[in-house]
Structure 1
Amino acid sequence: MMFLALRLSILDSAQFPITAIREIKILKKLHHQNVIQLKEIVTSPGPDRDEQGKQIDGNKYKGSIYMVFEYMDHDLTGLADKPGMRFTIPQIKCYMKQLLTGLHYCHINQVLHRDIKGSNLLIDNEGNLKLADFGLARSFSSDHNANLTNRVITLWYRPPELLLGSTKYGPAVDMWSVGCIFAELLNGKPILPGKNEPDQLTKIFELCGTPDELIWPGVTKMPWYNNLKPPRQLKRHVKDAFKHFDFHALDLLERMLTLDPSKRISANEALDSEYFWTDPLPCDPKSLPKYEASHEYQTKKRRQQQRQADDAAAKRQKTHHPQPPHARLPPIQQSGHQIRPAQPTNNPHPPMASGSNHHYGKPRGPGGPNRYPPGGNQGGGGYPNRGGQGGGYGSGPYPPQQGRGPPPYPGGGPRGGGSSGGYGGAPNFPQAGPYGPGGGPGRGPNYPPQAGSRNQQQQYGNWQ
């Protein structure tokens, strides 16, 4: 098995950064197949110093601390940006289902990720997707009364409540990011590529409409509402903008991109949506092709090299005829079509619906596999349940017997019953208490083992 060691750069040798401590504590308590696994923490001996305490040798790696993770072959952005890459609908459903399953596990353990984006969703060549980079993650209280920083989540995936200055928020912020990822997979490109925070908010309002007290109670009292509200009233047109999407996909996207966070769909509810229960069904991850390793930083480097080559060729020819930039292809709409990867290393068969030998094809209730550590919270934890009228993130635990059985795979019983079993309520996840306050800027992609540093030696000491 391959591992990836990410170096923590510590500016003050006398103090270990609280942000790193928080990340390690969170990763140590999360154990799930859709969450990246922290294998161990490795330290190297400190540098040799003279009598005045100055470092004698110039080895900057002495005294370093490394976080060792399992190695993943791809991140979602790097994979989607491969020239010629075209995901199928079953493949997108497979990735989205794994993302929501891992996120639901985090939320039931009262952990916010706060930086969900394509480069932080890692995929191996077995088709498994895992949430990674918990550097901005932190625990939250069920009442959402703690003051948290709003300077989190990469701009294109940041929800409107943070852009309007809210410091009291919960799992709904992650679900907005998931909605942006979902639309990006179906649309073939990012849907809200803002240049700065005001521009990002403008793009959100142009797509989702201008919020008012009727649509989003309390929005006019948010800290930055008066400064950032649009000069004119804008109507919501998510359905018009993405009318080429499948009906159930569009319905799920509408509920993810709900402006009012209290009415935004939860991860658990999203897993129960019709999108994952209608044909074509999510494919078995193991049926996906094996691709050559691809990460976001590699695709950026490839684009830069292509631009440099185009510029050089144009100078030689005295005329400039740049090649059009590579654009992602929309997904294949028919489930029976073959995936067309960019020179995959192994592409034996098109994706197949998962059968009874796969964990998605087994009941989540007592009859299903125990995917989580024993001793979990029998009541489903403190994860807030959605309220009325389609709900949102409210208060109180999950009610018993919430959810349905597995999708109607071939040979299985009817949904919610029959021989295939069904959900016996929300999964029983382990739970832990909150940590201290904090936050800070995001970090970049997953580097291969030889990189030897965390995002080119991320400076933890600059965090707020």
Structure 2
Amino acid sequence: MEQYSILGRIGEGAHGIVFKAKHIETGETVALKKVALRKLEDGIPNQALREIKALQEIEDNQHVVKLKDVFPHGTGFVLVFDFMLSDLSEVIRNSEHPLTPAQVKGYMMMLLKGVAFLHHNNIMHRDLKPANLLISSSGHLKIADFGLARLFSEQGERLYSHQVATRWYRAPELLYGARKYDEGVDLWAVGCIFGELLNSSPLFPGENDIEQLCCVLRVLGTPTQDSWPEMVDLPDYNKITFKENPAIPLEEIVPDTSPQAVDLLYKFLVYPSKQRCSAQQWDSLRGITKRKCEEHVDFRLGRVLS
């Protein structure tokens, strides 16, 4: 740690406290994530190992946070990342006015490019949410916090924990206790983030897992075996029943939104995981803004947060 000067505390991530720091020799500003081990003999926590493994195994990408270094410290270790000024949650929360269609489009394009890159490298993030999407001073978005990340295979035979993803962004199959799932859980979260950008508030703000499922069903309607055949095979399918509830048109949930944006939102918020729009189809975002694609988008945080 002696090569860094601590400039302040940023916050807490999975298993660690994050600090803003400056490399004394180079002057570079970075983010240091200090991970403490409860007992030295316990070794490095599994989630931290996943984060290191996932980030070290993939090449650099402009929309995924860069792991610059790892070194031991005391009874734990330190991860060194690019420093980013803010996160998307703060941008949404502190903006006095709704984000413009051009801003929404820009953030979504960067998010989807990052997610497409992860999925191409067989990585499920499993905890996509605005707070884990870091924003630079120029408005550049990078996906961060890989504490729940997992490598997946095309065969899809591996069992995973269903207790992943922050509740408001948790896919319905996870809420029903799914142990076998795919990168569709990330795509559901992308849809939730998209809706939050459009509406300046979370789409499904459940206070517990049952209420979370109720929030989803209240908007998208109660699924049937025809609309979601895989539902009956989920572990918790028979543990709770819901009365039949018709869907609310998403146009009512995200008013003042272009038809193209609403149509894209529908493509992410689909019950069957395999039917969700893949991140590689980010080009579908054309048309969200009514102006031409070459319009200037000012993402500087000073403008967004003012």
Scaled by the length of structure 2, the TM-score of the pair is 0.85
Tell me the alpha carbon deviations over residues 296-334 of structure 1, each in whole angstroms, 9 at most, x when there is no partner.
xxxxxxxxxxxxxxxxxxxxxxxxxxxxxxxxxxxxxxx
Residue 3 of structure 1 is matched in structure 2 by 30
Opposite residue 13 of structure 1, the aligned amino acid is: L
Q: Residue 83 and residue 89 in structure 1: after superposition, are their counterparts in 2 closer, same or farther (change >3 A)?
A: closer
> In structure 2, which of residues 180, 189, 198 is the aligned counterpart of residue 177 of structure 1?
189
Aligned match of 2:53: 25
**Compared CA separation, residues 4 and 144, structure 1 to 2 (3 A):** same
1:38 aligned onto 2:38: no
Relative distance call for 1:108 and 1:88 in structure 2 (3 A) is same
Question: 1:81 is paired with a residue of what secondary structure?
Answer: helix
User: CA offsets per residue over residues 373-393 of structure 1, 9 Å max, x none?
Assistant: xxxxxxxxxxxxxxxxxxxxx
Report the Cα distance in structure 2 between the residues aligned to 1:220 and 1:270, rounded to whole angstroms. 31
* Letter in structure 1 aligned against 2:280: N
* Aligned residue in 1 for 2:19: none
Partner of 1:288: 299
Specify which structure has the bigger relative contact order, considering alpha-carbon pairs within 8 angstroms and separated by 6 or more residues.
Answer: 1
Secondary structure of the residue aligned to 2:263 is helix
1:408-447 equivalences in 2 (<5 Å): none
Q: Structure 1 pair 244/35, CA: closer, same or farther in 2 (3 Å)?
A: same
Distance 1:139 1:204, change over 3 A: same
Say whether residues 1:63 and 2:75 are aligned partners: yes
Structure 2 counterpart of 1:332: none
Query: Could you tell me which of 183, 191, 199 is aligned with 1:187?
Result: 199
- Paired positions, count: 277
Report the equivalent of 2:25: none
Change (3 A) 1:117 1:224: same
Tell me if the contact between 1:101 and 1:271 (Cα under 8 Å) persists in the aligned partners.
no
Which of 163, 169, 179 is the equivalent residue of 1:157?
169
**Aligned match for 1:167, one of 167, 175, 179:** 179
Write the distance in 1 (CA, Å) between the matches of 2:286 and 2:206: 31
1:165 Cα shift?
Answer: 1.1
3-state SS of 2:156 partner: coil
User: Which has a greater percent of strand?
Assistant: 2
Distance 1:81 1:91 in 2: 15
Cα offset, 1:16, TM superposition? 2.2
Rg larger in structure: 1
Q: Quick one: distance in 2 between partners of 1:114 and 1:104? A: 14
- 1:10 touches 1:16 (CA, 8 Å); kept in 2? yes
Aligned-residue offset at 1:284:
5.9
Structure with the bigger percentage of helix: 2
Task: Quote the Cα distance in structure 1 between the aligned partners of 2:103 and 2:285.
Answer: 17
Question: Partners in 1 of 2:210 and 2:283 — Cα distance?
Answer: 32
Report the secondary structure of 1:207's partner residue.
helix
The 8 Å contact of residues 100 and 270 in structure 1, kept in 2 or not, is answered as: yes
> 154, 160, 165: which is aligned to 1:148?
160
CA shift at 1:228, angstroms? 2.7
Q: Tell me how far 1:143 sits from its aligned partner.
A: 1.8
> For the residues of structure 2 that align with 1:236 and 1:77, how far apart are their CA atoms?
26
Query: Equivalents in 1 of 2:88, 2:294: separation in Å?
Result: 17
Structure 1 portions without partners, runs of 5+: 45-61, 292-338, 343-464
TM-score of the two chains, using structure 1 as the length reference: 0.57
CA separation of 1:241 and 1:82: change in aligned 2, threshold 3 A: closer
CA–CA distance in structure 2, aligned partners of residues 86 and 233 of structure 1: 30
Q: Return closer, same or farther for 1:66/1:192 CA change in 2, 3 Å cut-off.
A: same
Q: How many percent identity over aligned positions? A: 33
From the superposition, tell whether residues 290 and 277 of structure 1 become closer, same or farther in structure 2 (CA, over 3 Å). closer
| Counterpart residue identity of residue 178, structure 1 | V
The residue type paired with residue 32 of structure 2 is A
- 249 and 280 in structure 1: CA distance in 2 versus 1, 3 angstrom threshold: farther
